[in-house]
Chain A
Amino acid sequence: MYYVVTIATLVTMALALVRAVLGPTVYDRVLSVNMFGTKTVLLISVIAYLAGRPDFLDLALAYALINFIGVLAVLEFFKSRTARRLQEQSEREEN
């Protein structure tokens, strides 16, 4: 049964990767990175259980957390870029 889940997760990771490569917008890529991260968390949980090593679950937690922070950092980066663009636009309009 675990194998079913693992395979499903792996395939989904591959699909997410395809989306990340295809884009087309950067936000699609952020989405697929986020998806990829959560799927990795699931994968590791399953592997941890398969290998009989519950201590690996710490890893899964760390991944979930790092993934979240990574995604927020990326979004912050984009928001500040958007803000800069909007500000430049409004300045241009004022002139």
Chain B
Amino acid sequence: MTVLFSVFLLTLLVITAIAAVQSRNLFVSVMLLGIFSLLIAANFLLLDAADVALTEAAVGAGISTVLFLGALALTFEREHRPTPHRWLSLAVVFAATLVVLYATFDKPKFGDPGAPVQVHVAPWYIEKTPEVIDVPNIVTAVLASFRGYDTLGEVFVVFTAGIGVLFLLSASHGHAAQRRPHNGDESKIGLRNDLIPRVVGRLLVPFILLFGLYVQFHGDYGPGGGFQAGALIAAAVILFALVEGEERTLEAIPRGALLALMVSGAMLYGLVGVAGIFLGGEFLNYSVLADDPIAGQHLGIILIEAGVGLTVTGVLLSIFHAFAARDRF
């Protein structure tokens, strides 16, 4: 039965994708992209990928939508003209699809426990995790320890995007930029002048923050971890910004603090790695962090997850503010 649910969701997925590409209103495309994210996340859940589902929902439906909206607010909402027919590109796309379809036929069967991916490497993780790391969530164990170096790279990708957007949007305004009437917080229209969303929003923000912390520190036991928590906390602050206004949010958490979050998170992760070297192990070897290797692993995982969370929160909020501030200059 779940199989049929999957098929149904996948079909909806394709329809959503087509609609998102077809629509000439970019805003509609962005909203459909949000739906697309929810759908693909539900699919991930059906395919047993709970952590991925959580991340995809938080990132795709939440953060990505907000970022796209921020960019649309600064640019245009509509495509100017219909897509020209570029036959060459269509041919390339078509060829690529045929190639991919060609590959489907020799693939191992769906869900086959004897497939190469299930018999090599992966069983080792499942078998060894309780023994050498002892956290219930194997995904967290692999992410933070066995392949911790990848995750370090991931944190620095996020960090790079953060400084990239800050760098780009700190440039002086170009000649085609037009000054918009400053209507930000004085206008009578906007959520911050709406009683109900404002009250509800303010009520919810602390709970969302709490939930974010739960996801952060519960990541060893269930779906969650630093990245998801960072996205959720950032979402909570964005909600605060929506109902209370940019200025109040920046008063609460100034840009400098966000930059400090970014830097300190990345450095925390790096320093945990370096500590491994100085305590006699390899880079990112957490076992040497404490007398007992397993306690060391636990400590290391908690620290690096905290680093991930800090960086992600800092970067996402910095990017959000960078877009929002560009609107009113």
Question: Residues of A with Cβ closer than 8 Å to B?
Answer: 3, 6, 10, 13-14, 17, 20-21, 23, 26, 29-30, 33, 36-37, 40, 43-44, 47, 50, 53, 55-56, 58-59, 61-63, 65-70, 72-77, 79-84, 86-88, 91
Is B283 part of the contact surface with A, judged by Cβ < 8 Å? no
Given contacts A20-B35, A77-B73, 12 further A-B contacts (CB under 8 A): A17-B16, A33-B34, A43-B42, A44-B42, A62-B57, A63-B41, A66-B57, A66-B232, A69-B62, A70-B66, A79-B190, A80-B187
Is B165 part of the contact surface with A, judged by Cβ < 8 Å? no
Contact A47 B12 (CB under 8 A): no
Contact B190 A6 (CB under 8 A): no
Q: How large is the interface on B (under 10, 10 to 19, 20 to 34, 35 or more residues)?
A: 35 or more
Find B57's partner among A6, A14, A50, A59 (CB 8 Å cutoff).
Answer: A59
Contact A17 B12 (CB under 8 A): yes
Is B208 part of the contact surface with A, judged by Cβ < 8 Å? yes
Is B38 part of the contact surface with A, judged by Cβ < 8 Å? yes
**Which residues of chain A have C-beta atoms less than 8 A from B73's C-beta?**
77, 80-81
Question: Residues of B with Cβ closer than 8 Å to A?
Answer: 1-2, 5, 8-9, 12, 15-16, 19, 25, 27-28, 31-32, 34-35, 38-39, 41-42, 45-46, 50, 53-54, 57-58, 61-62, 65-66, 69, 72-73, 180-181, 183, 187, 189-191, 197, 201, 204, 208, 211, 214-215, 218, 221-224, 228, 232, 235-236, 238-239, 242-243
Q: How far is the CA of A74 from the CA of B70 in the complex (A)?
A: 10
Q: How far is the CA of A13 from the CA of B9 in the complex (A)?
A: 9
Interface of A is mostly: helix
Q: How far is the CA of A83 from the CA of B218 in the complex (A)?
A: 43
From A21, A69, A91, name the one whose CB has the most chain B CB atoms within 10 angstroms. A69
Q: How far is the CA of A21 from the CA of B238 in the complex (A)?
A: 27
Contact B239 A36 (CB under 8 A): no
Interface of B is mostly: helix
Contact B27 A62 (CB under 8 A): no
Distance between A13 CB and nearest chain B CB, rounded to angstroms: 7
Distance between B48 CB and nearest chain A CB, rounded to angstroms: 8
From B15, B53, B57, B215, name the one whose CB has the most chain A CB atoms within 10 angstroms. B57
Given contacts A58-B215, A62-B232, A72-B239, contact A67 B31 (CB under 8 A): no
Find B180's partner among A65, A76, A84, A86 (CB 8 Å cutoff).
Answer: A84
Contact A26 B28 (CB under 8 A): yes
**Which residues of chain B have C-beta atoms less than 8 A from A14's C-beta?**
8, 12
**Which residues of chain A have C-beta atoms less than 8 A from B53's C-beta?**
59
Q: How far is the CA of A6 from the CA of B27 in the complex (A)?
A: 30
